[in-house]
Amino acid sequence: MLLPGELDITRHAPKAGCSPAAAQEYTHWLATHHYENFNVVSWLLPKALHQHFYNVYAYCRWADDLGDEVRDPLRALQLLDWWERELDLCYEGKPSHPVFIALRHTIVAKYIPKQPFGDLLKAFRRDQTTKRYPDWDAVLGYCLYSANPVGQLVLYLCGYRDEQRQRLSDATCTALQLANFWQDVSRDLDKGRIYIPLDAAAAQGLTENDIVERRFDDRYIRLMKDLIARTRVLFTDGLPLAKMVDSRLSVDLEMFSRGGIAVLDAIEAMGYDTLHTRPAISKLKQAHLLGSTLVKRLVARDSKPAAVSSMPEIVGAEHGAPHSARAIADSYEYCHHIARAAHSNFYYAFYLLPKSKRDALAALYAFMRLIDDVSDEGQDLTAKQRGLARWRAALDQAITGREQVFDGNAAVVSPAATLPGAEEILPALVDTIERYNMPARYLHDLISGAEMDLTVRRYPTFERLREYCYRVAGTVGLTCTHVFGFKDARALDLAEKLGLAFQLTNIIRDAHEDHKLGRIYLPEEDLARYGVSPEDFARGEATLGMRELLRFEADRAWQLYEEGVGLLGLIDEDSRGALWLLAHTYSALLGRIEVLDFAVFGEKIRLSKAERMVFMGKARFGHHTEENILEKRDRDRRRAGGTGSRRRAG
């Protein structure tokens, strides 16, 4: 549709129908080589989100250039129509343009509806036909399509779908758009556009012709002061959003707002003459804003009181529609049914808790079990990604009580209705979240871990593996600790360490089986250190190098166990038996693996039912201390007959 050389943005674009890798490389290049007031992605943003942001940015950048860099309005409208047809093909699963090939992955992974993408095109079309705005409401109506969809897309990328966050995002995005309008008055005049509300100009004695003729005087200064004051109110209205998202995202979101405010400050500092000069934000100013935002965040974090369990956590826009006591009781019973059927080590620990806490852990376990089922069953990657995205939407809907729109045009069937077990377990899960003041982001992070299992097959470094372990196991420790009850904020850090220790134990035990599934969780840097190749995981028994590698990882796990057991004294007394049992059981399993000299290439190493019952008796009737919570190591003991006599599976 585009003619050769018609737009500069096409210069580095690969051909239609290119590979996903080439498409993503292009969107990455575009996002990092095009001028913006602030970087599209900062180093603070979780790396797992970087490519998704690049893909969405590329769509917005292309749409903007199609509407803004083509001088003939009729031609621009033709190109915008073509771009919307490409969007339709993308949502039909048939993308051809490199931007949409990259974007398709993001749409599926984050379950983003078509509407915000389509709304942006409405704004760019309006730019071809509307050159003046009579009043403030008309300008805000334009922002509804030109700016607010961008914020909605960012929230979708970060896993937030509730109305309250979207409302705050709208305030911020509208403010950013307005700040850009006041910054770009001279540029827009060159294009024949005036975004300044004409009634606001008239209130200061300015006519449309005065603006076109660029007559700068006290009237224009008063006008800018009025517009800037209104815009600052919107920035203030949207600032709470940064406190309602994951801390790793909050700095980026606050930077967007502070960057817009800095634009307003720059207009004031230059004497308000945007008729002739465009103020810009220097790199030094950007660095200062980042530094001040980071300092503010660190001070706020360090000033929080230790008794965090009494502090409110935002888990959604508002609670969902209340369920009857009978419905919630039935939901908890269904959760117990799922947990019992799994025969997990976790379920034995439930019996040591008061009923309310036992119910809560059953609800959490059932949710986690069903998430695992989505990622573990079947071969269709796209179906799995869509299933996990539906779980995100169902979780948000259950918490907020708001229906979600998925096809971009109208509400469709509730996502929970399409997910086996969702309608049955979600009432109990929401009751648990509310009862134990639990941040919903832990559950969203857990879903992110399941998403990693779909596409990530190797982990180059331990830090990368730690990120995965936090999502699939650290989140388990954090949610359980909210149920256990705590008053000291250190409990959360220790809970995350124990979760990581549990997960490393599982990774060591299942190294051979995971390889059969195409995954190697142990860091590649560690494999290289001990001369282990991926093919060694397929052998019938562990090589010498493999044993040394697994011993190294076991030492790492033991260190985390030893650091994490301090959690025992920080949780409610009625929960200590359950925690003691979990830590004792998992550390005993790791000890057994060591005793068998890491013979994890045959039958799955387990603790016997008799051993688990003994541990449960100690947990129920014994004295729980940090000194006896871990099963003692004895790295010199070996199984009689050696590891070579161990029967192998199959």
User: What local confidence, expressed as pLDDT, does residue 34 receive?
Assistant: 55
Query: Is residue 445 domain-resident?
Result: no
Alpha-carbon gap, residue 439 to 451, rounded angstroms? 20
Q: Is the pLDDT of residue 56 over 70?
A: yes
One domain, residues 252 and 385: no
Q: Quick one: 296 and 368 in the same domain?
A: no
- DSSP code for 346: H
Of the candidates 574, 569, 611, 634, the residue with the CA atom closest to the CA atom of residue 345: 611
Are 111 and 35 in contact, with CB atoms under 8 Å apart? Answer: no
Segment 367-385 shows an average pLDDT of: 85
Q: What is the pLDDT of residues 331-360, one digit of tens each?
A: 999 999 998 887 666 666 788 899 999 999
Torsion angle, CA of 29/126/220/215, rounded to 10 degrees? 90
pLDDT digits (tens, 9 = 90+) for 450-502: 988 888 899 999 988 998 999 999 999 999 999 999 988 888 889 999 999 99
Does 413 lie in the same domain as 384? yes
Tell me, what's the pLDDT at 332?
A: 93
In a domain, 309, yes or no: no
Percent over 90 (pLDDT), the chain: 52
Q: In angstroms, rounded to a whole number, what is the distance separating the alpha carbons of residues 543 and 643? A: 12
Are the CB atoms for 361 and 480 separated by under 8 Å? Answer: yes
Q: Is the pLDDT assigned to residue 323 strictly greater than 80? A: no
Residue 608 has pLDDT above 90, yes or no: no
In a domain, 75, yes or no: yes
Q: Are residues 61 and 202 in the same domain?
A: yes
Task: Please tell me the predicted confidence (pLDDT) of residue 176.
Answer: 92
Final residue before a domain boundary, out of 268, 302, 336 = 302
pLDDT value of position 634: 60
Residues 221-243, mean pLDDT to the nearest whole number: 91
Maximum Cα–Cα distance across the chain = 98
Does residue 650 sit within a domain? no
At residue 286, the pLDDT reads: 44
Residues 12 and 129 placed together within one structural domain of the fold: yes
Q: Which residues contact 370 (CB under 8 A, 6 or more apart)?
A: 338, 391, 419, 420, 421, 422, 425
The reply to whether 406 and 257 lie within a common domain is no
Which of 441, 549, 563, 438 minimizes the C-alpha distance to 496?
Answer: 563
Contact (Cβ atoms closer than 8 angstroms) between residue 169 and residue 154: yes
pLDDT at site 173: 93
DSSP state letter for 522: S
Stretch 1-26: mean pLDDT: 85
What's the domain count of the chain?
A: 3
pLDDT at 217 over 80: yes
Percent residues over pLDDT 70 in the chain:
84
Cβ(197)–Cβ(138) below 8 Å: yes
Predicted pLDDT of residue 248:
64
Same domain, residue pair 419 and 527: no
Do 66 and 117 fall into the same domain?
yes
Same domain (yes/no): 403, 510:
no
Structure tokens at 347: 């379920």
Range of lowest pLDDT (544-553, 601-610, 632-641): 632-641
Cα(593)–Cα(598) distance, integer angstroms: 5
pLDDT at position 160: 84
Check residue 310 and give its pLDDT. 31
Going by pLDDT thresholds of 50, 70 and 90, the confidence category of residue 557 is very high
CA distance linking residue 502 with residue 582, whole number of Å: 9
Q: How far apart are CA 527 and CA 45, in angstroms?
A: 29
Mind listing the pLDDT tens digit for each residue in 389-427? 889 888 888 887 655 444 333 334 566 667 888 899 999
Is 449 inside any structural domain? no
CB 202 within 8 A of CB 133: no
Dihedral sign for Cα 123, 129, 132, 133, please. Answer: negative
pLDDT category at 281 given cuts 50, 70, 90 is: low
Residues 263 and 355 in one domain: no
The pLDDT of residue 296: 42
Same domain assignment for residues 297 and 323: no
pTM: 0.53
Domain that holds residue 108: 8-302
CATH number for the domain including 289? 1.10.600.10
For residues 382 and 332, the answer to whether their CB atoms sit within 8 Å is no
Evaluate if residue 254 carries a pLDDT over 90. Answer: no
- φ, ψ of residue 486 to 5 degrees: the values are -155, 160
Task: Count the alpha carbons within 13 Å of 466 in the hemisphere toward its beta carbon.
Answer: 10
How high does pLDDT run on average in the chain? 83
| 379 part of a folded domain | yes
Question: Which sign does the torsion angle of CA 34, 37, 43, 47 carry?
Answer: negative
Instruction: Decide if pLDDT at 298 tops 80.
Output: no
Is the model's pLDDT at 294 over the cut of 60? no
267, 325: one domain: no
Of 199 and 306, more confident: 199
pLDDT in tens, 122-134: 999 999 999 999 9
* pLDDT on residue 181: 95
Mean pLDDT, residues 179-187 taken together: 94
307 assigned to some structural domain: no
Residue 42 is predicted with a pLDDT of 57
In a domain? residue 312: no
Q: Nearest Cα to 503, choosing from 345, 392, 609, 646? A: 345
Residue 112's SS3 state is coil
pLDDT at 625: 86
Q: Is 181 helix (H, G, I), strand (E, B) or coil?
A: helix
Burial class from Cβ neighbours inside 10 Å (0-12, 13-18, 19+) for residue 644 reads exposed
Separation between Cα atoms, residue 166 and residue 158, nearest integer Å: 12
